[in-house]
Structure formats: C-alpha cells, structure tokens
Amino acid sequence: MRFTSYIGASAIVAFASAQTFTECNPTEKECPNNPAMAATLETNFKAGADSVKGWKQTAGKLEYVEAGADFTLAAKGDAPTIQTEGYLHFGLIEVKARAAAGQGVISSIVLQSEDLDEVDWEFIGGVPTEAQMNYFGKGNVTTYDRMTKAPVATPMDTFHTYALNWTAESLTWIIDSVPVRTLNFADANGGKNYPQTPSTVRIGIWAGGDPANSKGTIEWAGGEIDYTKGPYKMTVESVKITNYSPGTEYKWTDKSGSYQSIEVIDAGNVQGAPINSVALKPTATATGGGLQDQVNVPNATSLSSPYGNNTQYASKPTSACGTSTITLTLSGTQQPPAPTGGVATPPAATGIVTDTAPAPTAPQKTPTPSSNSTTSAPPEEFTAAASHNKVGAFVGLMAGAAILLV
C-alpha cells in the first residue's frame, strides 16, 4: 500500500484506516471470534523451518541461517513478514533479534488487534544507537507525539531481547530485561487510546525510504533507500510469548473495544486453538501484507503535527519535549500467576518509569521547546502519569537505565 499525504486534521484521521490493516473490525460489525494463542508459544528460528509453528507468512519468505531467520530486503517490493496464527490477550512478548542496517530500512516488531490497537518496536536502519517505541489505540493517528526512544548498544550488530509486558493496567517496553518505558492505562487518554484487545504479533522488515512512499514516511525512515547497497537483513533468533489469558477463542461481546468486553472461551485451556500447531511453510512466497501496510507510520501531514516542521522529525533532538533521566533497579523476574479463567494478570510491581506522553484526542499545538533540554517542562498536552500501578510490569527494580522522552 502506498502512502498519500493529506491536508488538515480530518484528513489525518481518515488516513489511519488507509495505512493499517484489519480483516474485520469488531467495533464496526460482527466478526468471527479470534483464535487464542497457547499459554506459551516458543520459537527457536536457529532450529530451522520445522521448528516454526503457530506463525504464518504474510509477505516474502524467510531464510534460515546459523544465527536464526533472516528477513531480507533486496529489491523494491520486498517486505518479508510473519504473523502469529493465534491472538493473545495481555502477555509477555520477548523477541531476540538483530535489526537491519541501512538508510531507509525499517525493522519492526508489532502487536496489533483487529480494531487497530497497536504497540511497536521500530528500528531505523540509519540510526544505530536507539530503538523507537510507539502505541496507538483504535487506529487513532490524530497526533504522532506518542513515540519515545531508548538507547541501544549496536542494535544492528548485536542481538538484543526486546520485550513487551502487556497487562490490563500497564504496558512496559523492556530491553535486555531492563524496563525503558511504561504506559499506564489511565494515561492513554483515560484508557481510550490504551491497547487492550486481542492481538497478533507481527515481525518484519520493509523499505520506509522507498521513493514511492510519502515524503513524511521517507523522512521518518531517515531518507531514501538505495537498493543497490543491499541486501539488508534483519535476523530473528527466537521468540517467546506468554499469553496471560489462555483459552481457545476470544469473543468480542460488544463494539466498545474495551478489554472488559472480551470473553475468553474455554478459559484456562493452555493449548489454545488448534491453529497454534500449524507449521510455517518454509517456501512461502506470500505477497502483500508486509508491515508497511499493516501498521501506523507517519506521513508528511502527521509528521508536522507534533513539531510544526516535518523536515526535522527524523532527527528531532530529544529536547523537543524535555529530557527526563530516571534510574531503575531490577530485583529479579516474577512470573504471572496461573490463569483461573478470564483475564489473568501478573503480580504488581512498583518503581517502574511511567509514561509522560499520553495520546491526546485531537491535534494540539505544541509549545516552542526551551533551549535547556534538562530543565524545560513537557508540552501542555503531556500530563503526568498516574501513581497507581495495580497490575504493573513483570519486572521489579535494579540496573540503571535512562529513558529519553521525546
């Protein structure tokens, strides 16, 4: 799918449906139940194609090497992507991967539901020092000020484990067991923009810098891609997913898109739907369905929304919204309790860094940032995070980490 620039706030809202993908949106019409993922889905890509079960190829194909599975972008139109067959409703997603280097190349790990709740890890191939973290609720792209960045040591040369601990009350992004960002339910526009519905996991590589993309997308991707310098490769070593609400299916009991409206059919069934045992075809050459037409990415108009000058967005300094440094400590890993039916949640944790950039309901004017990034206050639309954390992340505290709130 190609991206087109639009003018005006209403056009930005309309653009949301044009750049995301859903087979059937349960907030708009009656849809089939979502097949549930097993309580645990582990995939070792180093073991080869025969070990990859519970996934489907939605674009391109994988190449299996000693280090894992290569997602290769070699020519225009390449966008190898895989997606879980089943859905999880809250859980822990851990992906050990090495991102692809290269201007205009995007490596992505995405959590997305049928009503377009979305959580992203994204890696810009020309920026070898950081990971981008983003989220959307119900496809709301009225602003793009929710993205934050976390420093990563050589993500294009070194394997790191990128995790998401997702519960009914909070969502935590984690790098190598260190939490780098937490979003509380209440801080995502009172929960309205909080990702909270059954989702699949999608992993892929794509050309954000393709010349046919919108100006904003190309700028966000760091510039136009040069296919002659390829191939570009993202390598995934392993994936482990823990589904906190196992069952066989998820039923949307109304059109609210609220997590309370989701009924777990056959709650507690750790095997999940039969589809979890389906093997990924190693020779799959699916076309279409790459991540570039499944997830929310900026266009020229939406890029100008947070900062007023879209030409500066790709390299926007961290002082745009002030810089906050938070020290975290880690005291070990806690496992979620065994499910007893309905939505299971892990034990509470405290001291995790909380998000200070919730999504507003409509485009808002961003104040001019102060020249002193260490002391300037966040923009007016950024409200402080709530103090409660009843269901928090799976980690405790220890190991210093700093987060730059962009």
For each of the chain's 406 residues, which pLDDT tens digit applies? 222 222 233 232 222 223 456 889 999 999 999 999 999 999 999 999 988 999 999 999 999 999 999 999 999 999 999 999 999 999 999 999 999 999 999 999 999 999 999 999 999 999 999 999 999 998 887 766 789 999 999 999 999 999 999 999 999 999 999 999 999 999 999 999 999 999 999 999 999 999 999 999 999 999 999 999 999 999 999 999 999 999 999 999 999 999 999 999 999 999 999 999 999 976 556 666 678 777 787 765 444 332 222 222 222 222 222 222 222 222 233 333 333 344 444 433 333 334 444 433 333 332 232 333 222 222 222 222 222 222 333 333 333 333 333 3
Which position among 118, 169, 249, 381 bears the catalytic label?
A: 118
Which position among 30, 42, 114, 122 bears the catalytic label?
A: 122
| 388 within a domain of the structure (yes/no) | no
Place of tokens 């200070």: 356
| 394 within a domain of the structure (yes/no) | no
Question: Residue 236 belongs to what domain range?
Answer: 9-316
HEC string of the chain equals CCCCCCCCHHHHHHHHHHCCCCCCCCCCCCCCCEEECCCEEEEEHHHCHHHCECEEEEEECCEEECCEEEEEECCCCCCCEEEECCEECCEEEEEEEECCCCCCEEEEEEEEECCCCEEEEEEECCCCCEEEEEEECCCCCCCCCCCEEEECCCCCCCCEEEEEEECCCEEEEEECCEEEEEEEHHHCCCCCCCCCCCEEEEEEEEECCCCCCCHHHHHHCCCCCCHHHCCEEEEEEEEEEEECCCCCEEEECCCCCCHHHEEEECCCCCCCCHHHHCECCCCCCECCCCHHHCCCCCCHHHHHHHHCCHHHCCCCCHHHHCCCCCCCCCCCECCCCCCCCCCCCCCCCCCCCCCCCCCCCCCCCCCCCCCCCCCCCCCCCCCCCCCCCCCCCCECCCCCCCCECC
- Domain count of the chain? 1
| 353 within a domain of the structure (yes/no) | no
| 337 within a domain of the structure (yes/no) | no
At 13 the pLDDT is 28
* 30 catalytic per annotation: no
| 324 within a domain of the structure (yes/no) | no
| 261 within a domain of the structure (yes/no) | yes
| 89 within a domain of the structure (yes/no) | yes
At 233 the pLDDT is 98
Contact 196, 281 (CB under 8 A): no
Contact 304, 144 (CB under 8 A): no
Place of tokens 């929960």: 191
* 118 catalytic per annotation: yes
Alpha-carbon torsion 187, 191, 193, 197, what sign?
positive
At 282 the pLDDT is 60
Instruction: Please enumerate in sequence order all residues whose Cβ is within 8 A of that of 10, keeping only pairs 6 or more positions apart, or say none.
Output: none
Q: How many residues does the chain have?
A: 406
CATH code for the domain of 28: 2.60.120.200
| 346 within a domain of the structure (yes/no) | no
Contact 232, 397 (CB under 8 A): no
